[in-house]
């Protein structure tokens, strides 16, 4: 959908170098500013944008979080363990005080080896009067994800969601980041997203745009093929083929309906009318399984 190029300080501190690479003067360079520009363009589009999720490089940007809150967009953003949270202090200290029964086991999506199951704890934060008013429509949360095999590995998040949103929904949104990473990797492997050698910004932008378009096309085709395959699977008869015969069981033979091309009825080829002869000559014989046409 949207793409922007992040440049390190070795580029941003050299205006002449940027000018030589045709990088627009009005283009932002900080990651938070790039994210805001991408999100604002998405919100201006006809697409229904309900949630934003990102890693801690973006989640720790308070200006980005505030922009989403002002536009009424919910988010689940990863943050570092040193993140300061309004009214509670450092997020890792706050989560460390959670009682054991505050942790719930949830799956945050399907992985290569099955559901990605973790222990999750989440608590609502006090409202901020200056931002939320007297009747808040959204709650702020501090969710945390704990590994089952290594309980000392904890990931931290900040969330903003409509009042009444269950913890399971926050978990689901947090898990969608894996799909984003998988999409990036697939675009690199299948469409050469990262296989470019360019000297100027317009060339990079065109390459990334074409690679993303190609990946979107392949994803749509794959989804359509899977849906078509599912629809073509014959329905299983609700009637069991098992039959009781005396003291034993028998399996009744099941026959799939076979449709064959209807050929004109022929009793004696010597007495065909002109119309029957013409029809017969233009009608191929069809095998019983409808897979092979026999010419004669």
pLDDT for position 138: 94
Antiparallel, parallel or unpaired: β 154-162 and 74-79: antiparallel
Please name which of 35, 36, 5 lies closest in space to residue 21, comparing C-alpha atoms.
5
pLDDT for position 286: 41
Q: How far apart are CA 124 and CA 139, in angstroms?
A: 7
Q: Are 187 and 211 in contact (CB under 8 A)?
A: yes
Annotate 70-114 with three-state secondary structure.
HCCCEEEEEECCCCEECCCEEHHHHHHCCCHHHCEEEEEEEECCE
131, containing H or E segment: helix 129-132
pLDDT for position 274: 54
Please give the radius of gyration of the chain, using alpha carbons only, rounded to the nearest integer: 31
Q: Which residues of the chain have pLDDT under 50?
A: 241, 249, 256-272, 279-296
pLDDT for position 231: 58
> With pLDDT > 90 as the criterion, what percentage of the chain qualifies?
39
pLDDT for position 243: 57
pLDDT for position 230: 58
Antiparallel, parallel or unpaired: β 89-90 and 84-85: antiparallel
Distance of CA 47 to the CA centre of its chain: 15
pLDDT for position 79: 97
């Amino acid at each position: 959908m949207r793409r922007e190029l992040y440049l390190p300080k070795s580029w941003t501190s050299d205006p002449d170098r940027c000018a030589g690479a045709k990088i627009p003067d009005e283009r932002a360079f900080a990651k938070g500013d790039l994210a805001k520009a991408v999100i604002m363009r998405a919100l201006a589009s006809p697409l229904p944008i309900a949630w934003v999720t990102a890693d801690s490089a973006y989640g720790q940007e308070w200006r980005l979080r505030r922009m989403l809150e002002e536009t009424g967009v919910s988010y689940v953003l990863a943050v570092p363990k040193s993140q300061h949270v309004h009214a509670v202090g450092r997020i890792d200290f706050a989560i460390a005080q959670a009682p054991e029964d505050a942790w719930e086991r949830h799956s945050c999506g399907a992985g290569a080896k099955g559901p990605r199951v973790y222990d999750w704890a989440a608590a609502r934060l006090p409202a901020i009067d200056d931002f939320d008013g007297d009747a808040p429509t959204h709650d702020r949360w501090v969710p945390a994800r704990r590994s089952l095999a290594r309980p000392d590995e904890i990931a931290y998040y900040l969330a903003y969601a409509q009042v009444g949103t269950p913890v399971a929904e926050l978990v689901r949104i947090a898990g969608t980041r894996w799909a984003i990473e998988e999409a990036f990797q697939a675009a690199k492997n299948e469409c050469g997203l990262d296989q470019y050698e360019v000297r100027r910004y317009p060339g990079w932008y065109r390459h990334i745009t074409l690679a993303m378009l190609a990946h979107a096309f392949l994803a749509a085709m794959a989804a359509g093929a899977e849906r078509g395959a599912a629809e073509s699977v014959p329905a299983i008869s609700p009637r069991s083929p098992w039959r009781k015969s005396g003291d034993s069981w028998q399996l009744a033979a099941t026959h799939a309906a076979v449709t064959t091309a209807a050929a004109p009825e022929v009793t004696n080829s010597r007495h065909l009318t002109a119309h029957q002869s013409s029809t017969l000559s233009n009608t191929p014989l069809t095998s019983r399984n409808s897979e092979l046409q026999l010419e004669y």
